[in-house]
Amino acid sequence: MAKTKQEMDSKLAPGEARSRGKQIQDLLDEETVEVPWQLRDAEYTYLGSEPLDRDHYISQEWCDKETENLWSRVWQLACFEQDIPEVGDHIVYDIVDWSFILVRTEPDTIKAFYNSCLHRGRRLCTNELEPANKPEFRCPFHGITWNVDGSLKAIPPSIEFDFPHVDKEEFGLPEVKCERWDGFVFINIDDDAEPLMDFLGDITKHFERWPFANRWKATHSAKIVDSNWKLAQEAFMEAFHVLATHPQMSIGLLGGDGSNTEYNIYDNGDANWSRMTMAPPMPNPNLPYELTEQELIEEMFFRGESVSEMGVQKMAGSAEDLPEGMTTRKLLADAARKNGPNGFVGGEPTDVELTSAIQYHIFPNISPWPGPIFYRHRPYGRDPDKCIMEIMMMVSLPEGAERPPAAKINWLGPDEHFGNIFNQDVENVAQVQRGLKAAKPPGGLTLGNYQDIKVRWHHRLLEKWVNREI
Ligand code: FES
Ligand SMILES: [Fe+2]
């Protein structure tokens, strides 16, 4: 069996070792079309090997500090522009104890208001889940009403005599900072926050290749999960758990165990975004026997249970189609190309883009992909043991196609699941949450130097926010 790079060169510095087999940058060297610069922008910085404090996940005190020092100050995704397409459309965004109403006040203006009545504080909009078009916000408690632009509309005549001290011009709903990028609507509770575009940094240039503004939110599922919000999202910050958590993917869908995934953090870990790129289906170099391309594709089509679930079989044809010298990843890329890939700007799509899972992350809690999957993870109130996990499909449409209405949020009950593979992650993180509490104190966690770099990056930034160093 081939030696690892580490075995061949014992002088490697911490974080420099990589798994066997081809790396993403090697695959890009083999592309027959121009490789977009975004894929070559692949920074990694070793950020140390110190244990990670488990209190970040289980401590109520830490959770409260996140509320006071992170969520109160950070830019966060509230909704998509397409969730509220018409003037008057609104949607509620809840984060920890706060609640906001996002409303389209003019065809190209979206505002965000605190979802709290100025009389005795009732939530103005109680339907947190569904976008709804109303020409006004009428408080259900005593009926004071505001216009969709936040100005006071009316105090009911029967109670108006009691409010002579109210200056109606000044009695508008307080706004929260709201800015947009590429079809996303962000809010920030901190009136002095830096502009959204400064916060996002260079990720906005990366996504010029795979823009979101014209995509269609085709599905949107949410579930309350029994783990801290960070644990749930960290299920998607590394790929080497595939080996143990999703064994059915190791030979089938992925053709590998996730160990050839590329991990990127930027500006020495100080950028507010990161990325990982999972290798496309290739014969797994870590198997005790050598798997040929022909064997791989047969495994994928005939024994990889997850493949037919994902519709790959339909896309690629059958295993007998694999011509001499053809690789599985090339076959899949060509099939995807034939299907008319959408959403690529600035040149033909590469095989890596067509066959790999490229996953970006924007601090603190969203994960946009060049492909259709999109994640958001939020705390569930102030409970460190629960979170809201959301999965959306953000589909790129053919040029000129009319975008259907955005999917409304579909809340899954305790016994409903996102799907087989996601369910394995959900069950896993609930067990991690319990296992973290079961550890002998102080129970520091030992991370991988390279494959866990996104996890380390995220906690490093989080600590800076919580300690108000940012
Ligand atoms: S609490 Fe809203 S009108 Fe009284
Ligand atoms: Fe997973």
Mean pLDDT (10-residue bins), the chain, 470 residues: 57 93 94 97 98 98 98 98 94 96 96 98 82 82 97 97 98 98 98 98 98 96 98 97 83 70 98 95 81 78 48 46 78 88 94 95 98 97 98 94 95 93 95 97 95 98 98
Q: Which of 115, 118, 120, 160 to mutate to test the pocket of ligand 1 (most atoms within 8 A of CB)?
A: 120
- What architecture does CATH give domain 76-192? 3-layer Sandwich (2.102)
pLDDT score for 314: 39
**Cross-strand pairs, 138:** 145
- Sorted by where each begins, the domain ranges of the chain are 19-53+210-466, 76-192
Q: Look at ligand 1, atom 3, and give the residue with the nearest C-alpha.
A: 142
Counting ligands in written order, the one closest to the CA of 160 is 1
Pairing mode, strands 383-395 and 373-380: antiparallel
Nearest Cα residue to 186 out of 55, 73, 37: 73
Residue entry with tokens 């692949």? 42
The Cα 213–Cα 397 span in angstroms is 11
Counting ligands in written order, the one closest to the CA of 233 is 2
Question: How many angstroms separate the alpha carbon of residue 330 from the centre of ligand 2?
Answer: 24
180 lines ligand 1 (CB under 6 A): no
Q: Look at ligand 1, atom 1, and give the residue with the nearest C-alpha.
A: 120
The one-letter amino acid code at 350 reads T
Instruction: Return the number of other C-beta atoms located less than 10 Å from residue 277's C-beta.
Output: 26
pLDDT score for 321: 58
The one-letter amino acid code at 307 reads V
pLDDT score for 467: 98
Sheet holding 76-80, edge to edge: 76-80, 184-188, 175-181, 109-114, 98-106, 89-95, 132-133
- Helix (DSSP H) and strand (DSSP E) numbers for the chain: 18, 18
Ligand 1 atom with minimal separation from the 120 CA: 1
Question: How many angstroms separate the alpha carbon of residue 147 from the centre of ligand 1?
Answer: 15
Tokens of 44: 């990694």
Question: How many angstroms separate the alpha carbon of residue 135 from the centre of ligand 1?
Answer: 18
Ligand 1 atom with minimal separation from the 122 CA: 1
The one-character DSSP state at 245 is H
CATH match of 19-53+210-466 with 3.90.380:
yes
Non-local CB neighbours of 404 within 8 Å, separated by 6+ positions: 216, 218
Structure confidence by residue, pLDDT tens digits, 174-233: 999 999 999 999 999 999 999 999 999 999 999 999 999 999 999 999 999 999 999 999
Q: Look at ligand 1, atom 4, and give the residue with the nearest C-alpha.
A: 142
Q: Let me know: does 444 contact 54? Beta carbons within 8 Å.
A: yes
* Angle formed at CA 334 by CA 333 and CA 338, multiple of 5 degrees: 120
Question: How many angstroms separate the alpha carbon of residue 242 from the centre of ligand 2?
Answer: 6
pLDDT score for 243: 85
Non-local CB neighbours of 207 within 8 Å, separated by 6+ positions: 182, 360, 368, 370
pLDDT score for 308: 43
Ligand 1 atom with minimal separation from the 117 CA: 2
Question: How many angstroms separate the alpha carbon of residue 214 from the centre of ligand 2?
Answer: 28
pLDDT score for 435: 98
Q: Do domains 19-53+210-466 and 76-192 have the same CATH topology?
A: no
pLDDT score for 259: 86
